[in-house]
Structure 1
């Protein structure tokens, strides 16, 4: 319950000491380990977002099994004797692709996202009802462990549609949610004003200047418990940037300020996990910046579940305000280190379908109803003087332009490149990669692909064919090969095998390759890119087997070193000075 000045549990003051773990970023067989280590740091609660697009990637096809088994995750939290905070959005940000919203939703031009527009609201309500079927019976007042549920997410930074927030509260209460409801916003008066709604408790999100932020929150909300719902204890990385870290001593000092004030806290993140597969989001504050595969976040528990210096610094602070019992977990031993020769399995691009539909202009991924990473566009070139300038309005997000299979020209959205000089030939091919959908503000749901009509030499270029390429399906079709092991131009599939005595966490060093996707035993580890900073991909132990393991690399550009090297620990890149 909401008391003054504390939360109340069984009628007694209760300080929430929580940490964020996103079940969809962690292998289910590792949930229990991560949760236990949170308790060992002194936490009493686990918080998670709910990502709509993992539960309903296809409209009407709800999935709450396996990795998406929210109920099992909440039960695992309860099994450790801990409480839970659920933040279902529907929008979550979280540096997750499309801010957690499904592409089928955001591709509908009639949808006015995060608003009381009837079409959007109807879908959001339907989603929340599905979530609450799982959450309602697990509330604290029904013998479960859920103590708080959040409405929307930092809405004051986006909009001020009070009718929308009221509708979310209504469907939440109608679904049987009786625990306290909260909102979260950065402690700025305009955001707190716009993101709040009557009867819902306000919390803050910040990582520094804790005393000042709490004072602002208190000015706006004179009574009730203070809480930092997102204590930013680290940060995330993007391709072409640096690996971000924060000083453990500075972060611990801010935590001391929070706890000494009597506030509750939720560490964002306690354990970041990984953007496996194609799930990374992207930033765009004037320059598009796709996020890396690792979501290590410089959190107290690193990407592989090992405690960091920050873990122990926080544990020491918490111990001054709450009971911290039992030994702390030990740092994990180095992962096995070994090398595997990779063999050329050939070009993994699909054959061109000469009977495929032709389009006046290149259709977007969204118009094709495709949510994968790659679409290949082909068009026959007209007879004309050469060379010529090829152009579109925009490329989203990375494109390789080639004529008759010749050397490719790379065009990058991040560099605002959307034109190229092409040489004569019969067929132009443009391979386009969706590098991750922007996860906040007005760019949520923007179309992917070649944007706008194409021109060649200033004249319209028409008659395009589009071939969606499902990288997971392509990887599954790659058989073990015994071809040459030499530097290889791409696109090329490479395969290798290695033997383990038992399952083990691994770190795959990708520094000898340019750009592509890696798979272990059919599991999609995620994207790699020589742009860095990330140099290794985390391989969760449950994706390996005792015995023979199969590795598939789908390289888009080229390899310099056709060897897979597994190294003892993560290499997440250089840090900013």
Structure 2
């Protein structure tokens, strides 16, 4: 019998009345050495449970492999939650959305055109089952039946917004049960339209997702499920940002008032997000409704706990609301964490990017990043132009997602999927000029029918209508920064080509800080080999969060991959974030 059971209007935990007061906290968006701190702050706000997705694409990067270390050490996270006295809601997908690269579905799966994703297509369910065969055995000891913290497990994720294949949901339920998951199962769907109707699975608890109109949303949930606990599986209290858009937020008093309405109605809740964290590395997703728009590096979400783990206005407001409905620990609210004093870092050494490409794949036309087996990162393409002169360079099929064009090493222009650009006017300096195209994967679509859209160059290339043939295609995963020996002293402060830039700075006592890059254009940053994520002067995000555990006493390394150019050799460490101007 599961530890968590349902009654006609609520939950029982080990036979005693229980209300789930949960907050979303994604272990894979937080430095592992900060998990214990974030979990403690969840308990001190009055939460008794935390919720997390499980990103399939990182846990099984290649078929048949399972990664459970570092940022992905889920067993360690579960042990820490139990040590803090918190229960856990697990959401293994297989699809998670979460504004996460590909919605958590592996690229080696989504790029297979023969598989119908998120359906009862045996080609999909067989792969899901093989993943569960890998994932679940290490997690079973952490289920409540074995004395662990996990009291409930989600079946799929907001499936009603995607499809209505009940046989698929039933297959997932059987797959979890047959592999030892005896805890309460639940689904999670938006309360608008037919989402609940399409996503509800008989015999499985239905929960709703919404951020306002509490009474109406709970009424719709009750219509879909006449008996059982009312629970908001995602109570949206903020939002995420896209490059080039505003920074989203929500008034703390407004969100707290809706939380109060929710709890006053007797419902359980999972606050999305309690602590958003960061899309470290290249893990951000993208939306593609009318056009492609990638998500920024920060996943601060205007959550109660900021990206750097400090209690914000919602933390205090929510704690007061929760205290009206449930006991809150009689302990002081945690103070903000220490920050490094502001400092300037000089980047004194440089390594051009394009010469680092090796092991090309030669073909008449460019090969896509997916053809090259590249989950994330960059693809470089090289060929030669037959004659000098002006003309139109056309990329049939477009680019995925952002292409920089060079002629004999000189920048010739940029094309973006976001702007639906496919043609670039160019001036070819000579016959035989080297044409190079560097394409950045800006994040895989995480929601809707465009999951699995290809990356890199997506078709043949023509110059004034004549095909350009004979391409070398290079995969540039750039998972690690180049070796120190690759860097040479920078002759001048300015740089107008894609290049790695390296510098060092001294730290006495490691603490959180924020990387600010005025004068830089677009790229990525690493501190001591820890991949902070992407930066872009397009905004809204203007600083990158640097977790204190990524630093060390003494000398620290900063490496920037700048894709365009910089007029300064300096970067700055600040003691406050800048996520951009708020949406009006």
Alignment of 1:320-359 (within 5 A): 320-325=324-329, 326-351=331-356, 356-359=360-363
Q: For 1:249, what is the secondary structure of its paired residue?
A: helix
Match of 2:439 among 425, 429, 432: 432
Give the corresponding residue for 2:155: 151
Give the corresponding residue for 2:531: 524
Instruction: String of CA shifts for 1:303-329, please: whole Å, max 9, x gaps.
Output: 000000010000000000010012111
Give the corresponding residue for 2:24: 20
TM-score by length of 1: 0.97
| Partner Cα separation in structure 2 for residue 53 and residue 476 of structure 1 | 27
Give the corresponding residue for 1:572: 579
The CA deviation at 1:453 is 1.9
* 1:233 to 1:477, Cα distance in 2 relative to 1, 3 A: same
Alignment of 1:101-120 (within 5 A): 101-120=105-124
Runs (4+) off by over 6 Å: none
Alignment of 1:479-558 (within 5 A): 481-484=488-491, 486-558=493-565
Q: Which moved more, 1:37-46 or 1:195-204?
A: 195-204
Q: For 2:480, what is the secondary structure of its paired residue?
A: helix
* 1:57 to 1:463, Cα distance in 2 relative to 1, 3 A: same
| Partner Cα separation in structure 2 for residue 323 and residue 443 of structure 1 | 45
Q: For 1:423, what is the secondary structure of its paired residue?
A: strand
Tell me if the contact between 1:139 and 1:179 (Cα under 8 Å) persists in the aligned partners: yes
Q: Which runs of 5+ in 2 are unaligned?
A: none
| Partner Cα separation in structure 2 for residue 485 and residue 352 of structure 1 | 24
Instruction: String of CA shifts for 1:248-275, please: whole Å, max 9, x gaps.
Output: 0000000001000000000111000100
| Partner Cα separation in structure 2 for residue 370 and residue 333 of structure 1 | 39
Match of 2:260 among 234, 256, 259: 256
Q: Which moved more, 1:536-545 or 1:449-458?
A: 449-458
Instruction: String of CA shifts for 1:27-60, please: whole Å, max 9, x gaps.
Output: 1110000000000000000100000011011111
The CA deviation at 1:479 is 5.3
* 1:351 to 1:71, Cα distance in 2 relative to 1, 3 A: closer
Match of 1:405 among 384, 405, 409: 409
The CA deviation at 1:133 is 1.4
Alignment of 1:56-455 (within 5 A): 56-188=60-192, 190-325=194-329, 326-351=331-356, 356-383=360-387, 386-424=390-428, 425=430, 426-455=433-462
Q: For 2:558, what is the secondary structure of its paired residue?
A: strand
| Partner Cα separation in structure 1 for residue 32 and residue 365 of structure 2 | 43
Q: For 2:424, what is the secondary structure of its paired residue?
A: strand
Q: For 1:312, what is the secondary structure of its paired residue?
A: helix
The CA deviation at 1:126 is 1.5
Q: For 1:345, what is the secondary structure of its paired residue?
A: strand
* 1:269 to 1:519, Cα distance in 2 relative to 1, 3 A: same
* 1:118 to 1:477, Cα distance in 2 relative to 1, 3 A: farther
| Partner Cα separation in structure 2 for residue 31 and residue 262 of structure 1 | 30
TM-score by length of 2: 0.96
RMSD: 1.5
Match of 1:457 among 431, 451, 464: 464
Instruction: String of CA shifts for 1:119-176, please: whole Å, max 9, x gaps.
Output: 1110111212333213322222321111110000000000011111000000111111
Tell me if the contact between 1:372 and 1:468 (Cα under 8 Å) persists in the aligned partners: no
The CA deviation at 1:285 is 1.3
Tell me if the contact between 2:528 and 2:550 (Cα under 8 Å) persists in the aligned partners: yes
Give the corresponding residue for 1:563: 570
Q: For 2:514, what is the secondary structure of its paired residue?
A: strand
Tell me if the contact between 1:475 and 1:522 (Cα under 8 Å) persists in the aligned partners: no
| Partner Cα separation in structure 2 for residue 6 and residue 352 of structure 1 | 59
| Partner Cα separation in structure 1 for residue 298 and residue 499 of structure 2 | 24
Instruction: String of CA shifts for 1:70-116, please: whole Å, max 9, x gaps.
Output: 11111110000110000000000000000001111111111110011
The CA deviation at 1:403 is 1.1
| Partner Cα separation in structure 2 for residue 356 and residue 148 of structure 1 | 48
| Partner Cα separation in structure 2 for residue 374 and residue 94 of structure 1 | 23
* 1:352 to 1:21, Cα distance in 2 relative to 1, 3 A: closer
* 1:477 to 1:372, Cα distance in 2 relative to 1, 3 A: farther
| Partner Cα separation in structure 2 for residue 30 and residue 504 of structure 1 | 12
Q: For 1:420, what is the secondary structure of its paired residue?
A: strand
| Partner Cα separation in structure 2 for residue 233 and residue 476 of structure 1 | 43
Tell me if the contact between 1:499 and 1:546 (Cα under 8 Å) persists in the aligned partners: yes
| Partner Cα separation in structure 1 for residue 282 and residue 373 of structure 2 | 16
Question: How many pairs does the alignment contain?
Answer: 576
* 1:497 to 1:161, Cα distance in 2 relative to 1, 3 A: same
The CA deviation at 1:384 is 6.8
* 1:478 to 1:259, Cα distance in 2 relative to 1, 3 A: farther
